[in-house]
């Protein structure tokens, strides 16, 4: 199969492209410019420039059977855009719409779109999110990924192009960035962390499991038209994740039993309420529909995933 992958040089993209090559697929990577960040070995780069509503995809889509769209404007730690919402919309919505329209015109058989659990919301209470739940995004990233899903479905409706939407939670693994790397670094450095009293439940996914799940949505006929959640199927508290990361790193976890109410108060005083809520709140997703329809189980346990992550971290 000839597969076009966007975001091929990113964290998830590199893992996925390597797996595609191993499975014998011909992989084409859409890249911004030549040589800036080479894709994995065995992948053919095609220059498309910056991804947006005016991107020309015709050359990249030539002879392509399937598209896996991983590229997105995700969480920006130091925002510089004058209008952040518009910047998110340009990449996440308008660029997706343009790519789908051109994929449909090129008779691409399947279009897989990597979305996020943030489409559903930021937290769960008594029950896990289900794919059919009403979307309730709370930030620009979540809103624009929701709108991108809608644009994808509308653009492909009535065409030969089958769509698959995969909503993922926090992804960890070799090459990770963001909050997962920050936590890993703190544990590796032996820093005391105030999570000892946090008893939440959060769904997460190891990059190897996400790669395998995406492979299934690409290859399995039963995935067509689906909106799926994927995870390690092992929801844990922030404290448990930190302890498991410490064990994988061969370090002792140093978790202080700070009351959750005090953590939230400190977050409010420091203007970091959203960040604290992600640490102490629950966010669970139900992957049973994906497991049933695609006969899927995670390839790796969280322990195995963290061990691979620790090996990568220590080799940096």
Just list the catalytic residues: 141
d(C-alpha 44, C-alpha 276), whole Å = 42
Per-residue burial over 14-27, b = 16 or more CB atoms within 10 Å of its CB, e = otherwise: bbbbbbbbeeebbb
Beta bridge partners of 171: 205
Bridge-based pairing of strands 66-69 and 170-172 is unpaired
Helix (H, G, I), strand (E, B) or coil at 108: coil
d(C-alpha 284, C-alpha 267), whole Å = 22
Q: Which helix (H) or strand (E) holds 116?
A: strand 110-116
Residue from 11, 120, 108 nearest 68 by CA? 108
Beta bridge partners of 236: 202
Within a 10 A sphere around the Cβ of 127, how many other Cβ atoms?
Answer: 9
d(C-alpha 114, C-alpha 15), whole Å = 14
Hey, what are 167's tokens? 């909503």
Q: Please, are residues 8 and 29 in contact by the beta-carbon 8 Å criterion?
A: yes
Q: Please, are residues 269 and 200 in contact by the beta-carbon 8 Å criterion?
A: no
What single-letter DSSP state applies at residue 163? E
d(C-alpha 145, C-alpha 167), whole Å = 10
């Amino acid at each position: 199969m000839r597969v076009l992958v966007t975001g091929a040089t990113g964290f998830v993209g590199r893992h996925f492209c390597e797996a595609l090559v191993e499975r014998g697929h011909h992989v084409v990577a859409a890249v911004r410019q030549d040589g800036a960040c080479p894709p994995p070995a065995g992948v053919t780069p095609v220059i498309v420039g910056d991804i947006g509503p005016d991107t020309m995809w015709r050359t990249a889509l030539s002879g392509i059977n399937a598209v896996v769209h991983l590229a997105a404007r995700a969480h920006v730690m130091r925002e510089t855009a004058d209008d952040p919402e518009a910047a998110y919309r340009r990449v996440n919505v308008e660029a997706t719409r343009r790519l789908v329209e051109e994929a449909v015109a090129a008779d691409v058989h399947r279009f897989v779109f990597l979305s996020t659990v943030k489409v559903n919301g930021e937290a769960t209470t008594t029950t896990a999110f289900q794919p059919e739940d009403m979307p309730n995004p709370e930030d620009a990233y979540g809103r624009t990924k929701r709108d991108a899903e809608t644009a994808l479905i509308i653009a492909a409706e009535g065409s030969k192009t089958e769509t698959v939407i995969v909503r993922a939670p926090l992804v960890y693994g070799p090459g990770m960035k963001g909050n997962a790397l920050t936590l890993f670094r703190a544990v590796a450095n032996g820093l005391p962390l105030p999570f000892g009293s946090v008893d939440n439940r959060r769904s997460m996914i190891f990059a190897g499991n996400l790669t395998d799940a995406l492979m299934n949505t690409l290859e399995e006929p039963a995935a067509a038209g689906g909106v799926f959640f994927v995870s390690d199927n092992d929801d844990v508290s922030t404290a448990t994740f930190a302890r498991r990361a410490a064990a994988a790193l061969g370090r002792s976890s140093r978790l202080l039993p700070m009351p959750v109410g005090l953590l939230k108060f400190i977050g409010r005083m420091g203007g970091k309420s959203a960040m604290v809520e992600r640490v102490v709140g629950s966010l669970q997703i139900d992957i049973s529909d994906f497991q049933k329809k695609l006969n899927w189980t995670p390839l790796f346990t969280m322990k195995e995933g963290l061990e691979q992550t620790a090996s990568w971290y220590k080799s940096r």
